[in-house]
Amino acid sequence: MKVPNILVKSLLSVVVCSALLSGEIISKSINTKKTDSVTSSTKKVDKKHATHWGYTGHAGPENWGLLSDEHKLCKDGKSQSPINITKSVTVQAHSLEEIGFDYKTSISSVINNGHTIQVNFDEGSSITVDEIKFPLIQFHFHTPSENQINGEHFPLEGHFVHATKDGSLAVVALMFEDGLENPFLKKVWAKMPKKGGEKESLDIPASEVNALLPKDKGYYRFDGSLTTPPCSEGVRWMVLKNYTTISKEQTKEFLDLFEHNNNRPIQPINARKVVY
């Protein structure tokens, strides 16, 4: 399983979330035994030597696996994300556990990392899955949606990214469908930086984050990967069945900022099943 297995506590809210989206932290000793250094050191690539990737042209998704040996899973992986969730790949579970949401801290900042807009949280929020507590790191967006449900793309998909100190990852995906203006997004869009690499302070209380989530938190679950290089596998994916809304104007505002879509194409399901 190829996941980042070094996370420094003091950098979780900025460095890790940047790594998940920009590949600036190299996963170390992925297929070897963990050592005592796992929780005490972070290896960061000098930006001058970091492999450039994007969503268009030579650096686009179809070429990610060819850009660097560190990104080989993008073309060779067998459990890649995103996927199309259809009836033919779903299996109903008799006792699928509820996601233990414990979002109790505020959003502290919003970043344009050149690939997406992400909001960072103060430390202290988490989900519990498989009796494991996954601290909440950040929430970012893709347009159109990366995952599909019965072949349908949504205007926007949000990813709540959670990570443990040993590098285990869990992502909760929330779909936004065409409809009324979203008050949560209105606040984020008002402060989102216009240039890559810029950061702005943003204060949104936990109550408004929880209000963004659907009341019925049923979900689809599958094993997958990061949807950006290095496409590390072993990620627990939970796609919420119920949606929230986004206005067409809000979708356009996000799309105009990057001037292109920022979603990875659907990946083969292979032998996987989706549990619900």
Active site residues: 115
CA 268 to the chain's CA centroid: 19
CB 231 within 8 A of CB 68: no
Give strand pairing partners of 121: 107
Sheet strands (E) in the chain:
84-85, 90-91, 100-102, 107-112, 117-121, 126-129, 132-142, 148-149, 156-163, 169-178, 198-204, 219-225, 233-240, 244-246, 274-275
Q: How far apart are CA 98 and CA 94, in angstroms?
A: 12
Q: How far apart are CA 165 and CA 157, in angstroms?
A: 26
Question: Distances from the Cα of 6 to the Cαs of 45, 75, 97, in angstroms?
Answer: 14, 24, 28
| DSSP symbols for 147-191 | SEETTB--SEEEEEEEE-TT--EEEEEEEEEESSPPHHHHHHHHH
